Amino acid sequence: MVAMTQLRVGERAKIVDLSQVSDLVKRRLLDMGVTEGAEICLKCTMPLGGPFMIENCGQCVGIRRHEAMNIQVKPL
Amino acid sequence: MMHIALVGNPNTGKTSLFNQLTGTYEYVGNWSGVTVEKKVGVLRSKKAKMIDLPGVYSLHPLSRDERVVTQFLLTESFDKILNIVDASQLERNLLLTVQLLEFGKPLAIALNMVDVAERRGIFIDQTKLAEALRVPVVPVIARTGKGCDEVERTLLEKVAEQTELFTLFYGEAMERAIERFIASWGTEEQFPVRWLAIQFYEGNSYVRDYVAEKWPEATWRSLYEQAEKEVQHAEQMSLAQFIYEKRRSFVKEVIQQVVQRTEIGQVTLTDRIDAVVTNKYIGIPLFLLAMYILFQLTFDWLGAPLSDLLDAFFAGPLTDSVTALLEAIGASEFIRALVVDGVIAGVGGVLVFVPQIFILFFFISFLEDSGYMARVALVMDRLMEAVGLNGKAFIPLIIGFGCNVPGVMAARTIEQPRERLVTTLLTPLMSCSARLPVYALFVGAFFAAHQAIVVLSLYVLGISLALILAKLFSLTILKEETSVFVVELPPYRMPQWQALWRSTWDKGKGFVKKAGTFIFGGSVAIWLLSYVGPHGVNVNMDDSFLAMIGGILAPLLAPLGFGTWQAGAALLTGFLAKEVVVSTMNIIYHVPDVESLQGLMATHFTPLSAFSFMVFVLLYVPCLATVATIYKETGSRKWTMFSIGYALVLAYIVSFVIYQVGGLFGF
């Protein structure tokens, strides 16, 4: 189990733990179907500590790096 | 008349469907949050009214536009719900559907984007979906209008007035809690109290306020805490999470029954575009390049030649034929002067810029409709984070380039209240299209060789100041609030010409309308003020009332490089709408066309003072319509006054520095 920030671009992983993410962000991720057990793919990252773009069931979502750091995933 | 509410997730084509069903056209874009306010239209058959609501993922609101939906359901009377569902994202769409079904109103589902889903290997059995949810399901392609007749027929005929209430079983502990709530509530509501109970336990902030109006805090708190404890004990999950999980497992079951998947390994076009557009290294340069091309097209390549043609027409054939006509009917000298020097000079001076404004709006519509806007939010987030905002705040700023009013309204989609406030206050610094005529006038006169660069520098100045002030405000008024950023990135799509033209026209027509009303009236008033003075009518303009009024401001403006009564009067009238500055100048300098006005101005301004004047016009106060919108959005007189006050101070300081420092360098 690693933080999402450890993934390489293009790598797929399963979300294991969202409990460290702030409530508001967690709610929004839930709304978009990014939940524990969901399979995601890291699409790209922005430079200088910028946001991450992840894909889940064909839906792309942008989140900040420090939120991604709090998301625990299991690479597939 | 029957009222039908249109509800669905963001960016599922709600507004497109609304436009198809009602025959009107609303603003359509490809980013979450295009609709921030409800809109009402009449169905083509004139048998029912349709209400377009902002897109929501859930009835439990996080941002202000989402509150509009929950508020609508709770407080307004309507008859049926049309739930638009994105077939390619069935799971999260149905999570909302479940909440709507629990609400108990007759409901029909419009299943949109079936084509997109099929391309991704998702095949939905509509009959089974209709059976599983016990509501009519109609497949549509909202963008082209396919299936819309069927939707209308279903809404009017097949959706029963009274349906058996959809009930999802939430497990024993939760059901006991729901029953306790219903038993204590007592009063009749227009909707099932069960729905109210579930939303209350889920933590819906709007519903909680609604409940708190009726019950003392101790009552609802003890109900909530008891439920929380029992569910935690029975299910080892928080109340909100448990309710969500229950809904999700129901939705998953439904999907299992109705969806067939085939693996399609192909890389989609969106993936390929994103590989470039959101590339780590070229994402930001590409955005800047796109902006640069946009400005070149608007000003140099396309806009300027068209404007020149129009200007020649106003100054030549139009003025001549109107003069001839007025002479033929024997109009008095006064009327002739009023029409030619007042109306044609004032209104025509602004209408000349219609091509540029439409080109700008066209490209903004293109950015919105294609799906690039959401990527801009992603690409710019790092920069916005540095100044205490988030990437989503960049969208209102870009829309503000077209017009500040929708820009201010677009700020609603930002979740955090203070970030929203700061974005609202800063959007007027974006150089809107109404300021364009002013720039075009001055750059044409003083910077003919470097038009695009000088105008671009004003846009960049506006953005830079907005970012600096954002940082300043975030260190003062919005400290202690952490910024939040989660953005949905929709698939790209090729905008349809018809939709593009419609939204361009929709935005641009306000400008044309303003020319016919505000600017027309303003031109007549300004001309009259310049025609009449304390010593009678038809006075030398320097002795007119206008000169007196402008003269009061002139000494104040002298340190900025334009201490003339003409500049003072023009700026004063510019509060109505910024393009009135040009009308006023046309009337004051009493010239037939923009070209000769530019020649004349060379004697009143230097290039440096002209630049200083443009900067002042860019910053000095939001126009009347924007001020009204800021008041509406913030609901606070204090912040509205602040938005005017800080802009004036900022404009004065920046223009002062530019003029004085520029003078030192000998410009």
ipTM of the complex: 0.91
Closest partner residue to A49 (CB to CB) among B382, B487, B491 is: B382
Q: For the residues B615-639, what does the mean pLDDT come to?
A: 87
- Burial string for B585-616 (b: 16+ CB within 10 Å, else e) reads bbbbbebbbbeebbeebeebbbbbbbbbbbbb
Q: What does the radius of gyration of chain A's CA atoms come to, in whole angstroms?
A: 11
Question: Any idea where the domains of chain B sit in the sequence?
Answer: 2-158, 172-261, 287-484+507-664
- If DSSP codes are grouped into helix, strand and coil, which group holds residue B187? coil
Query: Residues of chain B whose C-beta is under 8 A from some C-beta in A?
Result: 57-58, 60, 62, 88-89, 91-92, 120, 244, 248, 270-271, 274-275, 278-281, 283-284, 374, 377-379, 381-382, 385, 391, 415, 482, 484-489, 491
Model confidence band, residue B237 (pLDDT cutoffs 50, 70, 90): confident
Give the strand pairing for B2-8 and B536-537.
unpaired
- DSSP secondary structure of B519-573: HHHHHHHHHHHHHEETTEES--GGGSHHHHHHHHHHHHHGGGT--SHHHHHHHHH
Residue B536 dihedral angles phi and psi, to the nearest 5°: 120, -165
- Among candidates A24, A30, A64 on the partner chain, residue whose Cβ is nearest the Cβ of B415: A24
DSSP codes of every residue in B155-167: IIIIS-SS-PPP-
Tell me how far apart the alpha carbons of residues B243 and B255 are, in angstroms, rounded to a whole number.
18
Q: Does the CB of A1 have a partner CB in chain B at under 8 Å?
A: no
Residues of B in contact with A44 (CB under 8 A): 274-275, 278-280
What lies within 8 Å, CB to CB, of B357 at 6+ separation is: B433, B436, B508, B511
The position carrying tokens 């800047």 is B288
Q: Chain B residues with CB inside 8 Å of A57's CB?
A: 89, 91
Structure tokens at B345: 């000079």
- In Å, how far is B237's CA from the nearest CA of chain A? 12
The stretch B132-150 carries a mean pLDDT of: 89
Stretch B7-31: mean pLDDT: 76
Is 80 exceeded by the pLDDT of residue A76? yes
Of B87, B109, B98, the residue nearest B6 (C-alpha): B109
- Please check the confidence at residue B417 and state whether its pLDDT lies above 70: yes
B46 is in an annotated binding site: no
> What is the pLDDT, as a whole number, of residue B163?
63
Assign domain B172-261 to a CATH class: mainly alpha
**How much is the pLDDT for B428?**
93
pLDDT above 90: percentage of residues in chain B = 23
Q: Which of B88, B378, B385 has its CB closest to that of A53? A: B378
Tell me how crowded residue B629 is: count the other CB atoms within 10 A of its CB.
23
Q: Determine the residue of chain B that is closest to A64 in CA distance.
A: B485
Query: What is d(CA B308, CA B316) in angstroms, rounded to the nearest whole number?
Result: 12
In terms of phi and psi (left: phi > 0; alpha: psi -120 to 50; beta: otherwise), the region of B490 is beta
Q: Is A59 on the interface with B (CB under 8 A)?
A: yes
Quickly count: other Cβ atoms within 10 Å of residue B189's Cβ: 11
In this predicted structure, what is the pLDDT of residue A73?
92
Torsion of CA B559, B562, B563, B568, to 10 degrees: -120
For the segment B185-201, the average pLDDT, to the nearest whole number, is 89
CB atoms near residue B257 (< 10 Å): 12
Verify whether the Cβ–Cβ distance A61 to B489 is below 8 Å.
yes
Q: Which residues contact B430 (CB under 8 A, 6 or more apart)?
A: B397, B398, B400, B401, B404, B407, B459, B462, B463, B466
Question: Rounded to an integer, what distance in angstroms lies between the CA atom of residue B342 and that of residue A58?
Answer: 59
- Please state the rounded mean pLDDT for residues B438-463: 86
At B577, is the pLDDT very low, low, confident or very high (cuts 50, 70, 90)? confident
Alpha carbon of B487: minimum distance to chain A alpha carbons (Å): 5
- Which of B391, B454, B466, B461 is CA-nearest to residue B424? B466
A28–B62 C-beta distance less than 8 A: yes
Fold of the B2-158 domain: Rossmann fold (3.40.50)
Q: What is the pLDDT of residue B514?
A: 73
Which of B153-157, B170-174, B530-534 shows the lowest mean pLDDT across its residues? B530-534
Which of A65-74, B83-92, B97-106, B231-240 is least confident? B231-240
Question: Does B33 carry a binding-site annotation?
Answer: yes
Tokens of B107: 């409901």
Spatial contact of B585 and B597, defined as CB atoms under 8 Å apart: yes
A31 contacts in chain B (CB < 8 Å): 57-58, 92
Contacts of B487 in chain A (CB under 8 A): 61-62
Domain ranges of chain A: 2-75
Torsion of CA B314, B317, B318, B324, to 10 degrees: 150
d(CA B36, CA B395): 14
Mean of the pLDDT values across residues A31-37?
85
* CB pair distance less than 8 Å for B489 and A51: no
pLDDT at B600 over 90: no
Give the side-chain half-sphere CA count within 13 A for B512: 10
- Cα separation of B546 and B526, whole Å? 7
B559 in Cβ contact with B656 (< 8 Å):
yes
Give the closest-approach CA distance of B241 to chain A in angstroms: 10
Is residue B115 marked as binding? yes
What pLDDT score does B264 carry?
67
pLDDT of amino acid B654:
94
- Per-residue pLDDT at B271: 82
Q: Helix B451-476 and helix B436-446: axis angle, to 10°?
A: 130
Percent of chain B with pLDDT over 70: 95
Give the residue from B357, B359, B346, B356 showing the smallest Cα distance to B594.
B346
Residue B118: pLDDT above 80? yes
Concatenated DSSP letters for A14-64?
A: EEEE-TTS-HHHHHHHHHTT--TT-EEEEEEE-TTT--EEEEETTEEEEE-
Mean pLDDT of chain B: 85
Residue B139 pLDDT class (50, 70, 90 cuts): very high
In this prediction, residues B324-328 reach a mean pLDDT of 88
- The number of beta carbons lying within 10 Å of the beta carbon of residue B93 is 24
Token pair listed for B402: 């077209």
Which chain B residues are within 8 Å of A68, Cβ to Cβ?
none
The mean pLDDT value of chain A amounts to 88
Min CA distance, A38 vs chain B (Å)? 12
Tell me which chain A residues have a C-beta less than 8 angstroms from the C-beta of B92: 31-33, 59
Q: Do B485 and A49 touch (CB under 8 A)?
A: no
Q: Is B391 annotated as a binding residue?
A: no
A64 touches chain B (CB under 8 A): yes
Q: Do A61 and B487 touch (CB under 8 A)?
A: yes
Q: Residue B51 in contact with residue B64, Cβ under 8 Å? A: no
Cβ contact B380:B287 at 8 Å:
yes
Is B402 annotated in some ligand binding site?
Answer: no
Chain A partners within 8 Å of B248 (Cβ): 35
Give per-residue pLDDT as tens, B468-503. Answer: 999 898 888 766 666 778 888 888 888 878 778 877
Contacts of residue B51, defined as CB under 8 A and 6 or more positions apart, other chains included, come to B3, B4, B5, B6, B38, B39, B40, B72, B78
Q: Does A66 touch chain B (CB under 8 A)?
A: no
Tokens of B290: 């796109």
A19 touches B at CB < 8 Å: no
- Are B486 and A62 a contacting pair at CB < 8 A? yes
The shortest C-alpha distance from B25 to chain A (Å) reads 28
Confirm whether residue B11 is marked as ligand binding: yes
Please write down the HEC assignment for all residues of B307-353: HHHHHHHHHHHHHHHHHHHHHHCCCCHHHHHHHHHHHHHHHHHHHCC
B271 to chain A: nearest residue by CA? Answer: A43
CATH of the domain spanning A2-75? 2.30.30.90
Closest alpha carbon to A59 in A33, A35, A30, A38: A33
Q: Which helix (DSSP H) or strand (DSSP E) does residue B17 occupy?
A: helix B14-22
pLDDT for B358? 83
Q: Do B278 and A53 touch (CB under 8 A)?
A: yes
Q: Where does the pLDDT of residue B24 fall: very low under 50, low under 70, confident under 90, or very high at 90 and above?
A: low
With a cut of 90, say whether residue B645 has pLDDT above it: yes
Q: Is B593 helix (H, G, I), strand (E, B) or coil?
A: coil
Work out the pLDDT band at B82, boundaries 50, 70, 90: very high
Q: For residues B556 and B571, is the Cβ–Cβ distance under 8 A?
A: no
Q: pLDDT of B257-304, one tens digit each?
A: 999 888 766 677 888 888 888 888 888 888 888 888 887 787 678 877
pLDDT band at A61 (very low <50, low <70, confident <90, very high): very high
The answer to whether B378 contacts A51, with C-beta atoms less than 8 Å apart, is yes
Under an 8 A CB cutoff, do A47 and B281 touch? yes
